[in-house]
Amino acid sequence: MADDYKELISGMMGKKRYIHSCNVADMCVKLAEIHGEDTEKAYIAGILHDIRKEIDDETLKKEIELSGYYIDPVELASRKTWHGIAAAYYVRDVLGITDTDILNAIRFHTVGRADMSKLEKIVYLGDLVSAERNYPDVEKYRAYALENLDNGMYKALEWLIPDFVGSGRMIPVSTVEAYNCYLKAAKKKK
């Protein structure tokens, strides 16, 4: 099955996005092994998370509308978040994958949310720290993800939210709720 999904996505995206998707799937499997999650589900969610990333705006809008998912107005106003919603729709309605955990992991991999499942956190962080990522401090964020998923989420959001604010972008409600959730978890741990 893994090869089938690789073959499918290779025809739906450019080489750079394909390599990224393969790297995310590999990181998701690694995180799943470390944190006791189903590796097959982690691979499927990781390999398919960006399946609608390179689709035209009109198709994305139609798939978002057909998805039936609640969409925060801030998400709707930001094209960067559309592909997660459309991907969850496509995986469910076209590929026939009905596992809610896989669908939520794909749906929320761009924005996060409070009380994410282990798989959701794995895909969110796997996308952030996959092998081809080379932003400053990426190794630090990889270490956080490998050590503890909740702390990894907190550290990722602690870093990402000021970037949103600094660049004048609005923040989806689910992202703020995710930050508050994982901040609270980090404070409890201390």
Q: Give the per-residue pLDDT at 76.
A: 93
Q: What is the pTM of this model?
A: 0.96
Mean pLDDT of 36-46: 98
Helix/strand/coil for 42: helix
Counting Cα atoms < 13 Å in the Cβ hemisphere of 111 gives 28
Q: Give the per-residue pLDDT at 159.
A: 94
**Burial code of 129-148, b = ≥16 C-beta within 10 A, e = fewer?**
bbeebeeeeeeebbebbbeb
Q: Give the per-residue pLDDT at 1.
A: 62
Is the pLDDT at 116 greater than 80, yes or no? yes
Q: Give the per-residue pLDDT at 3.
A: 73
Segment 61-109, tens digit of pLDDT: 999 999 999 999 999 999 999 999 999 999 999 999 999 999 999 999 9
Report the amino acid identity of residue 81.
Answer: T
Task: Say which residue, 59 or 163, is predicted with more confidence.
Answer: 59
CB 91: neighbour CB atoms within 10 A?
Answer: 25
Total domains in the chain come to: 1
Segment 6-17, tens digit of pLDDT: 999 999 999 999
Q: Are 180 and 153 in contact (CB under 8 A)?
A: no
Q: Give the per-residue pLDDT at 190.
A: 62
- 22 Rama sector, left if φ>0, alpha if ψ -120 to 50, beta otherwise: alpha
**Burial code of 110-125, b = ≥16 C-beta within 10 A, e = fewer?**
bbbbeebbbbbbbbbb
User: What is the CATH number for 32?
Assistant: 1.10.3210.10
Segment 143-172, tens digit of pLDDT: 999 999 999 999 999 999 998 899 889 999
Q: What is the mean pLDDT of the chain?
A: 95
Q: Which domain holds residue 50?
A: 2-189
Tokens of residue 59, six digits: 């198709």
**With bands split at pLDDT 50, 70 and 90, how would you rate the model's confidence at 186?**
confident
Segment 120-141, tens digit of pLDDT: 999 999 999 999 999 999 999 9
**With bands split at pLDDT 50, 70 and 90, how would you rate the model's confidence at 182?**
very high
